[in-house]
Amino acid sequence: MYIKTLYKKEVFGLILVLTTLCISCGTETEQKFKPEVQMKLEQAPDQLAKNLVVEFLDSSFLRAKLWAKVGKVFYQQSETWLYDSIKVEFYSRKTGKRQSVLTADSAKINDRTKDMYAYGKVVVVADSPKTILRTSFLEWRNKVQRLYSNEYIEIVTPQEEIRGFGFESDLNLTNYKIYRVSGVRK
**pLDDT tens column, 18-43:** 444 444 444 454 555 565 555 555 67
154-170 pLDDT, tens per residue? 999 988 999 999 999 99
The full set of domains in the chain, from first to last, is: 28-185 (2.60.450.10)
Extract long-range pairs of 29-38: CB within 8 Å, 24+ residues apart.
Answer: 29/136, 29/137, 29/151, 29/152, 30/120, 30/136, 33/119, 33/137, 36/108, 37/81, 37/106, 37/119
- The residue ranking higher by pLDDT, 45 or 9, is 45
* Structure-derived torsion over alpha carbons of residues 127, 128, 132, 135, reported in degrees to the nearest 10: -80
Q: What is the pLDDT of residue 60?
A: 83
pLDDT in tens, 105-158: 999 999 999 899 999 999 999 987 789 999 999 999 989 989 999 999 999 998
